[in-house]
Amino acid sequence: MKYFIPFIFLIFCSSFFSSCSGGDDDTKTNNFEISGTVKGASGKKIALISMEADGQQKEVAKTIVDGKGNFTLVGNIEFFDAYQLSLENEQKIIELTVAPNDKIKLNTTYTGFDINPEISGVSWSKQANSFTKLKNNFLNKQNQFRRENTRATKEESQLFLSVLMKDLDSNVVELVKSNINSEFNLVLYSFLAPIQSMDEWDSNNLILMKKIVNFLKNKFPNAPRVVMIEQQTSQIERFYEGEKMMKEGKIDAPDFTVKTPEGKEIKLSSLKGQVVLIDFWASWCVPCRQESPNVVRLFNQYQSKGFTVFSVSLDENADKWKEAIKKDGLIWPNHGSDLQGWKTPLTQLYQFNSIPHTVLVSKEGKIIARGIRGTVLENKLKKLFEQ
């Protein structure tokens, strides 16, 4: 799961409930407050966490729960954004949003802090409380599976997690629909976006994403995180339109030529008449090589039905490339590389900037899927060859 934890500048000041102070400009006036009761948490630290532009988490506000379990956290923020409220050094975390002038209340316990926070004082409190329960239900089921299935294969674990994620995403969609004009939807937004592929993504989510952006943009037009998700939504829409064209068989797979480990030329177009998985990888890419057994298994399963793999390496060292092919048992005959690493023109030709990256090409030479692996790739091949 992904949570947006943005960068802000926050000012703290002292209070009766032992809130700490810090920052470079103590002249700013506090413009938000998070307060309440956490029974059984006397002496524990509560902190508001944001994320820097470079991805590093930053503690931007903190306070200590008093002897009666009460706390007050105050500060100054420039923009509306999403945060994590943590208890006891980030061992327990609540996702929330904070806007200038917000007064957010909590009424919970130490053990129930991240399970049942009982948030109030804001219009999105019911949504946030429901999401916290959904998230914990997901985590409990995931942990239970791990405890009870210590010998589960990677494929079994991936399948279980996929089913679990679909259930969570479905519930989050209903949660968004229950209050579409809600600041908390900034936290839920990422659950609506496609994770790995458009194949199993519900395009109706795009409608919800646009509604979220429209509401937040009208209310917080200058908030950097809102501007960011507006841009993301536009990108997803463009990509979705491209995927529709792809599924309609309107996009040709660009032809290219690379050299095999033996130094001979191999062209993508020479494989026309087969369903081809172009697999961009490298010997130094750990996720690529972790996926190799799955690709080998699928090749063995469907090669007799017209499926093959074209492994295109982003290696620069020919010996390491050849060694990885042999060590990983990549038994298909189609291997190629220009040994230019990330300088290869193929990254521009196929529009990718990370590996593993896959492109599935039909027998007619049309792109029919991109960026799929694991169970998504398996399900796609099953549809193509077993129906």
The predicted-structure confidence for 178-233, as pLDDT tens digits, reads as follows 999 999 999 999 999 987 667 678 999 999 999 999 999 999 999 999 999 999 99
Question: What is the per-residue pLDDT for 53?
Answer: 63
329 φψ region: left (φ > 0), alpha (ψ -120 to 50), beta (else): left
φ/ψ of 357, rounded to 5, equals -135, 130
What whole-number distance in Å separates Cα of residue 313 and Cα of residue 321? 7
Taking alpha carbons only, the member of 376, 46, 215, 31 closest to residue 368 is 376
Supply the mean pLDDT for the chain.
Answer: 89
Least confident span in 235-239, 267-271, 308-312, 342-346: 235-239
Give the lowest-confidence range in 57-61, 112-116, 306-310, 379-383: 57-61
Q: Look up residue 221 and give its two tokens.
A: 């037009």
Q: How far apart are the first and last CA of the chain?
A: 32
Question: Cα separation of 155 and 141, whole Å?
Answer: 17
Q: Going by DSSP bridges, is the β-strand pair 307-313/334-337 parallel, antiparallel, or unpaired?
A: parallel
Provide mean pLDDT across the span 22-34: 71
Q: How does residue 257 score in pLDDT terms, banded at 50, 70 and 90?
A: very high
- Of the two residues 11 and 91, the one the predictor is more confident about is 91
pLDDT at residue number 21: 35
The number of residues in the chain equals 387
Rounded average pLDDT over 161-179: 93
Going along the chain from its start, the domains and CATH numbers come out as 1-114 (2.60.40.1120), 142-247 (no CATH), 257-386 (3.40.30.10)
Which pLDDT does position 199 carry in this prediction?
67
- Specify the range with the lowest mean pLDDT, choosing from 46-55, 94-103, 219-228, 364-373: 46-55
Residue 6: per-residue pLDDT: 28
Residues 315-358 pLDDT 10s: 999 999 999 999 999 999 999 999 999 999 999 999 899 999 99
Q: Which of 83, 88, 143, 89 is nearest to 119 (CA)?
A: 83
According to DSSP, residue 199 is labeled T
**In the prediction, which pLDDT does 335 show?**
97
Is residue 138 pLDDT above 80, yes or no? Answer: yes
Percent of the chain that is helix, strand, coil (3-state, to 5): 40, 25, 40
Give the pair of three-digit tokens for residue 88.
Answer: 């006891």
30-39, 239-248, 251-260: which range is least confident on average?
Answer: 239-248
Q: Does 7 have pLDDT greater than 50? A: no
Q: Give residue 55's Cα distance to chain centre.
A: 14
pTM over 0.75: no
Retrieve residue 23's tokens: 């920052």
Residue 76 has pLDDT above 60, yes or no: yes
pLDDT at 16 (0 to 100): 27
Question: Pick the residue with more confidence: 25 or 243?
Answer: 243
